[in-house]
């Protein structure tokens, strides 16, 4: 049973479209994250939620909007997709008090054409 699961695994879409990526964790963790891995392979944090509250919001265009319906889910909605949004997006989760060990999903490869 996958601990952190993301859907879809691949997403190909046209510029200007709106798309969502879903993430669920069954580890009972209270904190969830979205990371972006760009073409240079850097993994950079975008957002962090703790118990459904936004904790970290890095310098991300406001076209990106995370939504956490409950502490086991953190979805990422992207409006008006641009070519530069093409990347692999990783969801992760962790538990406060257990260091900063984060557990990652398998990633969603987004290609904007």
Cβ 75 to another protein, closest distance in Å?
A: 17
* Residue 36, CA distances (Å) to 28, 64, 91, 98, 111 in order: 23, 12, 9, 23, 13
Instruction: Take residue 30 and report the two structure tokens written for it.
Output: 């209270």
CB 65 within 8 A of CB 74: no
Identity of the residue, 1 or 14, whose beta carbon is nearer to another protein in the bound complex:
1
**Among 1, 39, 41, 83, interactor with another protein by CB under 8 A:** 41
x/- track of binding to another protein for residues 69-108 (CB under 8 A) = ---------------------x-x-x-x--xxxxxxxxx-
Determine the Cα–Cα distance for residues 95 and 6; give it in Å rounded to an integer.
Answer: 19
Of the candidates 58, 75, 57, the residue with the CA atom closest to the CA atom of residue 66 = 75
Query: How many residues at the interface with another protein, by CB under 8 A?
Result: 26
**Among 21, 33, 68, 93, interactor with another protein by CB under 8 A:** 33
**Among 53, 56, 63, 84, interactor with another protein by CB under 8 A:** 56
């Amino acid at each position: 049973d996958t601990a952190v699961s993301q859907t879809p695994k691949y997403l190909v879409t046209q510029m200007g479209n709106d798309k969502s990526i879903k993430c669920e964790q069954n580890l009972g963790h209270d904190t969830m994250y979205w990371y972006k891995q760009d073409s240079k392979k850097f993994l950079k944090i975008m957002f962090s939620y703790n118990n459904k509250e936004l904790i970290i919001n890095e310098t991300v265009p406001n076209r990106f909007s995370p939504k956490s319906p409950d502490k086991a889910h953190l979805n990422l909605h992207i409006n008006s997709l641009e070519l530069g949004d093409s990347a692999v997006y990783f969801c992760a989760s962790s538990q406060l008090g257990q260091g900063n060990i984060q557990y990652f999903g398998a990633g969603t490869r987004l290609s904007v054409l």
